[in-house]
Amino acid sequence: MRFFKAAILAGTVAVIAATSAFAADVKIGFVVKQPEEPWFQDEWKFAEVAAQEKGFTLVKIGAEDGEKVQSAIDNLGAQGAQGFIICTPDVKLGPGIVAKAEANQLKLMTVDDRLVGADGNPLEDVPHMGISATKIGEAVGQAISDEVKKRGWNPAEVGVIRVSYDQLPTAVDRVEGALSVLKANGFAAANIFDAPQAKTDTEAALNASTTVLNKNAGIKQWVAVGLNDEAVLGAVRATESVGIAAENVVGVGIGGADSAINEFKKPTATGFFGTVIISPKRHGYETALNMYEWIANGKEPEKLILTAGQLALRDDYQAVRKDLGIE
Ligand code: GLA
């Protein structure tokens, strides 16, 4: 009897040891297009929390172009990873990324930017977590409309900077969502100006927006929309550089990471009026966890998860962040 108990006990110990040894062998890549952007830093941070919890290894790689994506995937394959999550620098790399992942026997999930095929349609077989872009864009448009009304402006005379990055579907959905609400609230289609950015960062948005402002010097009041906080901050910086006062500018971004927070912390309000905070916790922690479950337990992730956002302004952003569990 005693012998049996000992044997069972030993068996249990062996099983536990085997499981944890397996967890330690799991290696998951997290590849992002713009590692310097606070949003992606936060995604990595929360993915790391999942890695600590489950005991797997997280390999963080920045890949700013197609070539770097290719070598990142090969590299993950060579170091024995079993899967990776990627926010690609270019959604058109889709079929190439899928092929590379297969060649390296890596499971693949995408985050933020959804891969498209040669026909421009999303690759629906690849599990994806993104934001509910149109809805979040609409929240941006509503926040701007409300503030413009509050300031007593005539929306028909207000200029709209549409910081655009039209090669990225989620970017189009976000700005179009915002513009649909602006138009419904009396903004004039003729006063909406495209500011195409070469890259999704503040500098590119600043350059593109400056051109728009210089060409339309007759317009006195401006609002700005874009795919993220960096885009809207670029537009706001452009208004400052051509001498438009903050009280004549209403920009609302999307993101809510440090780029926005640092702006809210400035002693006086700028034209960056608000942001729709999205959740790097869900995008980082959940995708990493889902990938782990897929590798360790064969549990395939849902094909499409869309996350929500919540508007935050200068005076309530701390409460909203707390609410979302990203303090
Ligand atoms: C895109 C943008 C990022 C961020 C994410 C959120 O990748 O470039 O700044 O907004 O979407 O999903």
Looking at the fold, whether 167 and 271 belong to one and the same domain comes out as yes
Tell which one of 44, 112, 173, 174 to mutate to probe ligand 1, the residue whose CB is within 8 A of the most ligand atoms. 112
Would the pTM of this model clear 0.85, i.e. be above it?
yes
pLDDT for position 4: 47
- Residues 107, 142 within the same domain: no
Cβ atoms within 10 A of the Cβ of 321, count? Answer: 17
pLDDT value of residue 9: 47
Whose C-alpha lies nearest to ligand 1, atom 12?
112
Residues 69 and 155 in one domain: no
Least confident of 18-22, 33-37, 200-204, 235-239: 18-22
Q: Ligand 1 — pocket residues by CB below 6 A?
A: 37, 39, 87, 112-113, 130-131, 170, 200, 227-228, 254-255, 278
How far is the CA of 214 from the CAs of 135, 209, 217, in angstroms? 31, 9, 5
Question: Quick one: pLDDT at residue 178?
Answer: 98
- Report yes or no on 301 lying in a domain: yes
| Domain match, 142 and 269 both | yes
Q: How many CA atoms lie within 13 A of 35 on its CB side?
A: 11
In whole angstroms, give the CA distance from residue 169 to residue 145.
24
Q: Does residue 121 lie in a domain region?
A: yes
- The predicted-structure confidence for 3-24, as pLDDT tens digits, reads as follows 444 444 444 554 544 455 566 6
Residue span of the structural domain in which 296 resides: 27-126+280-307
Q: Whose CA is nearest to atom 2 of ligand 1?
A: 228
Looking at the structure, tell me whether residues 99 and 137 fall in a common domain: no
Spatial distance between the Cα atoms of 68 and 144, rounded to a whole number of angstroms:
38
Residue 315 lies in a domain: no
CB contact burial 74-99 (16+ within 10 A = b; e otherwise): ebbbeeebbbbbbbbbbbbbbebbbe
Strand order, beta sheet including 107-111 = 57-62, 27-32, 83-87, 107-111, 128-131, 304-307
- 246 and 158 housed in the same domain: yes
pLDDT number for residue 326: 79
* Claim to verify: residue 171 and residue 285 sit in the same structural domain: no
Report which protein residue has its CA nearest ligand 1's atom 3: 228
158 domain-assigned: yes
Shared domain for 179 and 96, answered yes or no, is no
What is the predicted pLDDT for the residue at 325? 82
Does the structure show a pLDDT above 60 at 170?
yes
Q: Is residue 3 part of a domain?
A: no
User: Could you tell me if 175 and 66 lie in one domain?
Assistant: no
3-state SS, one letter per residue, for 115-153? CECCCCCECCCCCEEEECHHHHHHHHHHHHHHHHHHCCC
pLDDT in tens, 221-274: 999 999 999 999 999 999 999 999 999 999 999 999 999 999 999 999 999 999
Q: Are 38 and 201 in contact (CB under 8 A)?
A: no
If asked whether residues 44 and 89 sit together in one domain, one would say yes
pLDDT value at 327 more than 90: no
Residues 104 and 238 in one domain: no
> CA-CA distance, 226 to 245, in Å (whole number)?
20
SS3 state at 313: strand
Tell me: pLDDT of 1 over 70: no
CATH number where 104 lies? 3.40.50.2300
**CA-based R_g, the chain, Å:** 23
How confident is residue 323, by pLDDT bands cut at 50, 70 and 90?
A: confident
